[in-house]
Structure 1
Amino acid sequence: MDFDKNIKLRPKFEQFSPKTIDEIKLSYEKVKTFESEDFKFKDAGNHIWLGVGLFRREYWSPSLHIELDMYEDGRTYVKGMFGPDPVLWFIFLAMHFIVGGLFILFGIIAYSKWTFSQSNEFDLVVMFALLNAWLLLYFIARLNRKKGATQMRELLSLANKIIA
């Protein structure tokens, strides 16, 4: 999986495993005991979360969410999604909503002023600045994903130890 050329901010993968969910969970427990210092492990039901260990973690460090679904033929369908730390992701999304909401608000104000033949230059400048802020957020997210690509590969390798 090439994380550097992928346009998605949260890369995903899907695959089948010949193991059952119970076998994958048993493998997860074995890997967890040997890799507990380098990685962070959480699980709940058919979901597994893998993260970078506390001593190697940076603000751009990724996490991997793995979901396990059982098929009738005994195979397990594995879906994985990479993403940033959940707190960072929440802040990132909140900033997007704020920028988007302000853009819409200033768009309404600019349209209202234009309808009443008033000067709306300030509102258009603010909208342009908000558009640039949105683009800046996107490129910051891309840069952070690029910085975390090495750790994503490590998490993918760890996930393959658990699944395969």
Structure 2
Amino acid sequence: MDANNEARLLLRFYKDVEENIDTVLQKFEDYKKNNLNDCLLKIKHNHIWLDISDSKKEYWSPHLHLELEEKSENETHIRGLFGPEPTLWTFFMFLHFIIAGVFVIFTGIAYSNHVLKSPIQMNLVVMGLMVIIWFLLYFIAKQIRFRGHEQMNDLEKVFLEIIAA
């Protein structure tokens, strides 16, 4: 998977394993019991979360969410999603909604001022700043993903190691 040439901020992958769901889940349970220092593992039904250990965790550290689906009686389809920490993701979404809200409000104000033949330059300046800040947030998110790329590879390596066991 080449993460550097994609426009998406969240990276997805799919993998089919020639084992049933219970066997795959047992592999993750065994890893959770035996390897406490490599990464943090949470399992809930058919969902598995792999996180970087606390000693190596930074604000840009990714996590891996795996969803196991039964493809056939002896085959499991795994959906993987790399993403930022949920709190960081929530903060970024909050900022996006605030920026979009300010943009919409000033668009309405600019339209009202235009109808009333009042100056709209200040409204356009604020709207332009919101667009610039929106792009800035996108590039900050890309930078965070770039900084976490090595840890993302580490999580993928652990995932493949568990599946191969």
Which deviations, in whole Å up to 9, do the C-alpha atoms of 1:121-146 show, x marking residues without a partner? 11100001111110010000000000
Identical counterparts, % of pairs? 38
Displacement, 1:159?
1.2
Cα distance in 2, alignment partners of residues 36 and 2 from structure 1: 29
Give the CA RMSD over aligned residues.
Answer: 1.1
Q: RCO higher in 1 or 2 (8 Å CA, sep ≥ 6)?
A: 1
Give the Cα–Cα distance (whole angstroms) in 1 for the partners of residues 37 and 112 of structure 2: 58
TM-score by length of 1: 0.96
Matched, 1:140 2:133: no
Offset from partner CA, 1:37-72 (integer Å, 9 cap, x none): 121111100000001010100000000000000023
What residue in structure 1 maps to residue 151 of structure 2? 151
Shift of 1:162: 2.4
Residue 65 (str. 1) matches residue 69 (str. 2):
no
What SS class does the counterpart of residue 124 from structure 2 fall into? helix
The answer to whether the Cα contact below 8 Å between 1:38 and 1:56 also exists between their aligned partners in 2 is no
Distance 2:39 2:54 in 1: 8
Q: Using structure 2 for the length normalisation, give the TM-score.
A: 0.95
Aligned equivalents of 2:94, 2:158: Cα separation in 1? 31
Residue aligning to 1:105: 105
- Structure 1 counterpart SS, 2:5: coil
Query: How many residues were matched structurally?
Result: 164
Alignment of 1:41-56 (within 5 A): 41-56=41-56
Q: What are the residue-to-residue correspondences of 1:54-93 with 2, within 5 Å?
A: 54-93=54-93
Shift of 1:73: 4.2
